[in-house]
Amino acid sequence: MRAQSALEWVSARQAACTAHYHASWGALNVLARELGKVGWQGGLQPLEDEDIRPLIDLYAMPGQGRQKLTWIWRMSGMDSDGDGTDEDGVRVEWCKARARAMRWSEEVELLHEEMCHVLQFFQWQATWWDDQGNQRVEEDKGCLEGIRAYVAKQGHIRHVFTDQFHTLWSPFLSPDTVPLTRLVSDADHTADLPNLSALSPPNI
């Protein structure tokens, strides 16, 4: 009950302050026109409903990386003494945002490095399967043909993985660090390249 009363008091206080600002803004606009004052607003802006939210909005829909401070938190209050102490909360939030940006930048670099390794692994595995056809010597020609057909199929799957992965990631990776050992040049072949998400895991 006490918590509910506190919430009601805060809500009423917010509504009163909002109404007071709207009235003051309207009055100042009228006076500015009468007195010919231009640019009197400074950093003040019309107060919209979306501007009225806390410094840390736990219920905001965007993630932390997309949250923006409303203009009201970048303004100094009337009771500010100019020593900057009223901006401590904003400074703390700026430090948090900078720390998140640096962490995310590092994660992007790590992701690029991991994708380079994935592409290089696909290339190595495709080459490995290509070499397996000549590793077995069977007296039974039928068995040998079956082995080579299986090896060719597995090699083809890895080459498709390599080509498709390169297509997806080449805009984000440096060509110097991820040389492609095999490019599909046949137009009929490239037209039928599957999506990586549609491919089943290869059988090794």
N- to C-terminal Cα distance for the chain? Answer: 65
Per DSSP, the residues of 37-105 read --STTTT-----GGG---SS-TT-SS-GGG----GGGGSPPTT--SSSGGGHHHHHHHHHHHHHHHHHH
Residue 103 has pLDDT above 80, yes or no: yes
Per the CB < 8 A criterion, the answer to whether 110 and 104 are in contact is: no
Residue 179 has pLDDT above 50, yes or no: no
pLDDT score recorded for residue 187:
35
* 104 vs 178, residue with greater confidence: 104
Half-sphere exposure of 10 (CA within 13 A, CB side): 9
pLDDT, tens digit (0-9, with 9 covering 90-100), for 142-174: 888 888 889 899 999 999 999 999 888 888 776
* Length reported for the chain: 204
Per DSSP, the residues of 144-168 read HHHHHHHHHHHHHHHHHHHHHHHHH
pLDDT score recorded for residue 175:
55
Q: Considering only 43-47, 83-87, 103-107, which range has the smallest mean pLDDT?
A: 83-87
Sign of the C-alpha dihedral computed for residues 98, 101, 103 and 109 taken in this order: negative
User: Domain limits of the chain?
Assistant: 2-54, 109-198
Q: CB within 8 A of 151, min separation 6: which ones?
A: 129, 130, 132, 133
Q: What percent of the chain has pLDDT over 90?
A: 7
Q: Considering only 29-43, 125-139, 185-199, which range has the smallest mean pLDDT?
A: 185-199
- Residue entry with tokens 């945002």: 97
Report the distance separating Cα 179 and Cα 115, nearest Å.
Answer: 13
Per the CB < 8 A criterion, the answer to whether 44 and 78 are in contact is: no
pLDDT score recorded for residue 194:
35
Confidence label for 56 from pLDDT (cuts 50, 70 and 90): low
82-86-91 Cα angle (round to 5): 110
* Joined tokens for residue 140: 């039974």
Q: What percent of the chain has pLDDT over 70?
A: 67
* 93 vs 126, residue with greater confidence: 126
Residue 180 has pLDDT above 80, yes or no: no
pTM check: above 0.75: no
Confidence label for 47 from pLDDT (cuts 50, 70 and 90): confident
pLDDT, tens digit (0-9, with 9 covering 90-100), for 71-87: 777 676 555 555 555 56
